[in-house]
Amino acid sequence: MAALLTTGAPPASAAGLSLSVNLFAGRHPISPDIYGLNGGDPAFNAEIGQTVARWGGNATSRYNFKNHTYNTGSDWYFENIVADQEHSVEGMVESNLDRGIKPVVAVPLSGWVAKDSPSSHPFACGFPAARFPQQDGFDQWDPNCGNGKLNQQNLTGVPTDTSIPADAAFDGEMVSHLVSQFGTAAQGGVPIYELDNEPVLWSSTHRDVHPEPVSNDELGSKGTAAAAAIKAADPSAAVLGPSGWGYCEWVASGVDGCGPGADSAAHGGLNLSQWYLKNMKDYSDAHGGKRYLDYFDQHFYPQISGDKTPEANALRLRSIRSLWDPSYVEESWIGPSGVNAPPLQFIRTMKSWIAQYNPGTKTAITEYNWGALDDINGALAEADILGVFGREGLDLATMWGEPKPTDPGAYAFRMYRNYDGAGSKFGDISVSAASTDQGQLAVYGAQRRCDGALTLMVINKTGTELSSPLSIAGFGTGKAQRFTYSPADLSSIVRGDDLPVNRGSVTTTYPANSITLLVLPQHRN
């Protein structure tokens, strides 16, 4: 007989719903680097024990470490901005290393970096009014800087207005500079370098200097040259790339657009990701087998607006299945009516391509965000995502657009990284955990190395409280500590009464739209 503890009769919709965990199956380490962020509140980052911080994004594509200047690109009138110490690459690296956080540093690949610029208005910019007096828009604070469009058509910029040429040698100098300041990766310096940011978008984000679409050959040759320069300057550092912006860059070069085309045909019919991995492997093979790509990285943004309508909320939760589910077809333009992609299985597909074209490469998603982090729905999604990252064996992840410390989305991180306010964490060895309906009640399991405790994250994605039996193979009799985050109190994680566990069985009720963590101390049979 299972020990029962319920807070009401099971809803009819939960009929047949059950959870199962096996301590001895599906065991593999969970990388601590999946709990990374691109920025965020320093106090919150410290509270959750942030593991990785990425210095990336569009502004880093033309960052010049020699004058601390970057270009805003199409994000803001193509202006050169001089970074202060806090926002310089040295400031970012020092701040994170001091806090025990791994920095990921992007190096430029487009062929250009920002030249010297005034530290205040008027800035150097890609489409100055002095050269292009007629444009669709100008910066209200710097009327000399335009948006590079006339009648909604792109103007052709003059790269030297803002930038100077920079090749792989520049990247090597940048790494050598950081090594001189902080030591090599092996000595506690920068551990990971990223090969630019979303390169297939250069013809949009940095079209003043790179208006041409990126081809496989350009991306491949620049990537291998930069990787070689990084490894020469710091052989102990890891290289991460290509950091594509989304589905189109996942499968196609800038020349091909968003599907197989002439560029793909000229490269063995492989899509961009497959060819990129193969090209890096070929380069390694031609250079004594030395690894030049350590992480295969792509960005993932679901095709959902920030809306919080019932329809958007439901889709937000369903769309997480695109990360792993072989039966889920994208409900966006990606498929079935648009590109008609097969089920993405994003992480699993990354791993399968790696196994075929560049074995041993790790997986990373250095930008992702499912939105609605200021709402319980966004918190449910983020908790589900972090559970998927751990179960699927993703090696590194950094969220872009971090939650505010008081946002429900921040509590999703706390449930994994500081559920009791004393720094206690979800386990670091994934174990098999399954639900008869993951769409209603998701479950993720992990054991902690430090004390052997079993941690189980249960996410009720429905608007109804759900009762469910939970069976745990490999656990005998004891008690489960219970921590819950729910709409009943969006400002804290509530410590509930312990649940009795009898012969590995326990039943309880999970509140509507809630995240529940069960912590079972060292198991006994």
Q: Name the pTM for this structure.
A: 0.95
**Mean pLDDT score of the chain:** 94
441 vs 484: CA distance, rounded Å: 14
Identify which of 135, 142, 166, 195 has the alpha carbon closest to the alpha carbon of residue 70: 166
Q: What is the pLDDT of residue 476?
A: 85
Secondary-structure breakdown of the chain: helix, strand, coil percentages, each rounded to the nearest 5 = 30, 25, 45
Q: What is the pLDDT of residue 522?
A: 78
> Binning pLDDT at 50, 70 and 90, where does residue 340 land?
low
Tell me if the bond preceding 242 is cis, omega within 30° of 0: yes
Residue pLDDT, tens place only, 76-94: 999 999 999 889 999 999 9
Q: How confident is the model over 299-306, as a mean pLDDT?
A: 88
CA angle at 396 for the pair 390 and 400, rounded to the nearest 5°: 105
Residues 6 or more apart whose CB falls under 8 angstroms from that of 12 comprise none
CA angle at 155 for the pair 153 and 161, rounded to the nearest 5°: 155
408 pLDDT more than 50: yes
Of 168 and 523, which is predicted with more confidence? 168
DSSP 23-67: TTSS-EEPPGGGGEESS--HHHHHHTT--EEEE-SGGGGG-BTTT
104 vs 372: CA distance, rounded Å: 26
> Binning pLDDT at 50, 70 and 90, where does residue 307 land?
confident
Percent of the chain with pLDDT over 90: 90
Residue pLDDT, tens place only, 101-111: 999 999 999 99
Instruction: State how beta strands 69-71 and 28-29 pair.
Output: unpaired
Say how many C-beta atoms besides its own lie within 10 A of residue 99's C-beta: 13
Does residue 320 sit in helix, strand or coil?
helix
Helix (H) or strand (E) holding 179: helix 168-182
In the chain, the domains with their CATH numbers are 1-30+427-525 (2.60.40.1180)
> Binning pLDDT at 50, 70 and 90, where does residue 62 land?
very high
Q: How confident is the model over 310-317, as a mean pLDDT?
A: 96
Residue pLDDT, tens place only, 435-494: 999 999 999 999 999 999 999 999 999 999 999 999 999 888 899 999 999 999 999 999
C-alpha torsion sign, points 147, 151, 154, 155: negative
> Binning pLDDT at 50, 70 and 90, where does residue 432 land?
very high
Please report, as a single letter, which amino acid is at residue 310: P
> Binning pLDDT at 50, 70 and 90, where does residue 35 land?
very high
